[in-house]
Amino acid sequence: MTARSGTLFQGLSAFPLTPADEAGTVDTDALGRLVDRLAEAGVASIGVLGSTGGFMYLTRDERRRAVTAAVEAASGRTPVIAGIGALRTDEAVLLARDAEAAGADALLLAPVSYIPLTEDEVFEHVAWIAAATDLPICLYDNPTTTHFTFSPALFARLAKVKTVGGAKIPLPAEGSVAVQLEELTRETGGAIQFGYSGDPRLVTAGLGGAKAFYSALAGALPKEVMSLHTASVSGDAARANEMNARFEPMWNLFRKHGGFRVIPEIAQILGLCSARPPRPVLRLPDAERTKVGAALAQLEGL
């Protein structure tokens, strides 16, 4: 059995930040440069407006500008997956249509919530959005930010929605990736291609047999993360773990502050763009920024 969207939801997907000013106006030139860099590096896909891309902090207009700029910059070299999560179903439908009109190749749908949602509500939400667009949909299971957790039974229901082809899920807190992948693939009849996110455990996912990884760090450091990803999916655990040791200072910063606060500092240090997280999220304090520089130095020459 193969996922219905072919290889779209396979390989290393890189999620850049969305450079924007303090008022939330996207710097489309800077975003275009980030996307071009990812396409040049040869990542499998580019995820614009993911959590790292701050989708929940941008208006519909700014999100449309961001997707348009990303699609133009990728210029057919690399598929673009656009985040369309919104608290209201009708808003997510509009965002899906905007992304389709802008030329995105697929949609990333996070069931963000304020009032905690039931499984029936998330099912209907996804089905409603799927009915409004022809694009393949990747479900985004990220309980830390959406406060919703997909059960295997819900994935099985959603596998019957024709355009649902992928899912971006967190690694299991306990237990093996391989066992989880086998269970979820069985439950969904192979219709959904499951991939992981949560950069500090990229190697665990790769060694566990994950065919897809959705990486925030790859949005800023595509070459380095591609090397790590290649090592992890090659099955050479010794090599992957050896390489991963060099990423450990960076993973510690991710664990401590979240990638959302660390990645703008990386972009700043590397001169990729000037970017700060949107308030209320604050920049890292000076001492932590110094550690980001040191963590980057560990990756030189990869």
Instruction: Confirm or reject binding of residue 48 to a copy of itself (CB under 8 A).
Output: no
Q: How many other CB atoms are found less than 10 A from the CB of residue 167?
A: 25
Would you count residue 173 as binding a copy of itself (CB under 8 A)? no
> How far does CA 117 lie from the centroid of its chain?
22
CA–CA gap between residue 262 and residue 253 (Å, rounded): 7
Among 282, 286, 287, 301, binds a copy of itself (CB under 8 A): 282
Question: Which residue of 29, 40, 90, 182 would you call a contact of a copy of itself, by CB under 8 A?
Answer: 90
Which tokens hold the place of 240? 């992957």
Q: Which residue's CB is nearer to a copy of itself, number 52 or number 193?
A: 52
Under the criterion CB under 8 A, does residue 97 sit at the interface with a copy of itself? no
Q: How many residues bind a copy of itself (CB under 8 A)?
A: 34
Is 239 among the residues that bind a copy of itself (CB under 8 A)? no
Amino acid making up residue 143: P
Asked if residue 281 binds a copy of itself (CB under 8 A), the reply is yes
Catalogue the active-site residues.
140, 168
Please report whether residue 289 would count as binding a copy of itself according to CB under 8 A: no
Contacts of 72 (CB under 8 A, 6+ apart): 32
> Contact 228/247 with Cβ under 8 angstroms?
yes
- Residue 23 in the binding site for a copy of itself (CB under 8 A): yes
Long-range contacts of the stretch 255-262 (C-beta < 8 A, 24+): 255/200, 256/288, 257/284, 257/288, 259/52, 259/199, 259/216, 259/217, 260/51, 260/52, 260/54, 260/216, 262/292
Residues 146-165 within binding reach of a copy of itself (CB under 8 A): 147
114 contributes a contact to a copy of itself by CB under 8 A: yes
Q: Determine which residue in the list 41, 163, 258, 288 makes contact with a copy of itself, applying CB under 8 A.
A: 258
